[in-house]
Structure 1
Amino acid sequence: MPDITWEAPFCATGNSCFRLGTDAEGNGYIAVAGEEDQPLTDSREALRNLILDIKAGKADHLL
């Protein structure tokens, strides 16, 4: 597994906490806090757009 630098967990009221991370090659990762050993991975841009949409309330039902 690549060396991933994780950010602090993002937690919304009543929802699971998620963590975002990146590796040295610029890949982006997202994982449920506490399960960082099983992250989803995609390009940094794809994950950035997903998180921006979630924070904007466009995908609130996904959390």
Structure 2
Amino acid sequence: MNDITWEDAFCGEGNSCFRLGTDSQGNAYIAIVGQEDRPLTDSREALRALILGIKEGRADHLL
């Protein structure tokens, strides 16, 4: 796997902790804390769109 630079963990209420990471090839990663060896991956642009969508409230119905 590529050399991933992970951000500090983000934890919501309970056990919902995850980490965001990027690599030098322009990929973005999301992983559950402790499972960084099995991340979801996509482009940085896709990760940016996901985060902006969440901030805009497009995922509020999932909460």
Which of the five TM-score ranges fits, normalised by the shorter chain? 0.7 to 0.9
Secondary structure of the residue aligned to 1:28 is strand
Residue number in structure 1 paired with 2:24? 24
Q: Report runs of 4+ in structure 1 exceeding 4 Å deviation.
A: none
TM-score by length of 2: 0.80
Deviations 1:5-58 (A, max 9, x none): 000111122351111100111111111111000001111010111123234442
AA at the equivalent of 2:44: R
Name the CA distance, whole Å, in 2 between partners of 1:20 and 1:6. 6
Residue number in structure 1 paired with 2:58? 58
Residue number in structure 2 paired with 1:7? 7
Larger Rg: 2
The runs of 5 or more residues in structure 2 that have no matched partner are: none
Structure 1 residues 36 and 26 mapped into 2: Cα distance closer, same or farther (>3 Å)?
Answer: same
The runs of 5 or more residues in structure 1 that have no matched partner are: none
